[in-house]
Amino acid sequence: MSKLIHTLGSDRFFALLLITASAILYALIGGLDEPGSPGELAASTYPRILLLCLMLFSLVLILKPNRSDADRIAHFPLKGLSVIAVIAGYIALVDLVGYFVLTPALLLVLPLLAGFRNLRLIMISVCGVTAALYGIFDLVLNIPLPAGFLGD
């Protein structure tokens, strides 16, 4: 096993495991009930979309060129810990503050912590992702998002 990990690299090996697990879960989801009326989404639609995205991103990870371990380790501690702290703060505050205030702030801060400085592109991404998540959860799946101090 360790020889396979050394040959593929830890990132590619992990991506291969993710693809395998996603494929198994995708096959198991096939047994979920279909919707009762036309135009409704099946209960399996959202998990299937997530699993397909996970498989796609894992495939990209397998196909991308390798970086040395020294490059990855040198950048992780400060950026990684700050990203974890920001996400933990988001999780703790999202019910209190609300989705529509906190999510755009999170989506603005995370790329800045990662080193991206193209504010125009970041703002386009913030608006697009926030709108897409609102559309998926609130409009399509009818799952209410936390309103926070904005109220209902």
Task: Out of 18, 49, 66, pick the residue that ends a domain.
Answer: 66
Domain count, the chain: 2
Give pLDDT, residue 79. Answer: 67
Q: Which residues of the chain have pLDDT under 50?
A: none
Q: What integer pLDDT is reported at residue 37 of this predicted model?
A: 64
Among candidate residues 142, 78, 140, the one with its CA nearest the CA of residue 113: 78
> What is the per-residue pLDDT for 3?
60
Residue 101 sits in the same domain as residue 151: yes
For residues 77 and 148, state if they share a domain.
yes
Same domain, 100 and 138: yes
User: Are 77 and 136 contained in the same domain?
Assistant: yes
- Position 4 scores a pLDDT of 53
Q: Which domain holds residue 33?
A: 1-66
Structure tokens belonging to residue 136: 């998926």
Same domain, 120 and 92: yes
Same domain, residue pair 46 and 7: yes
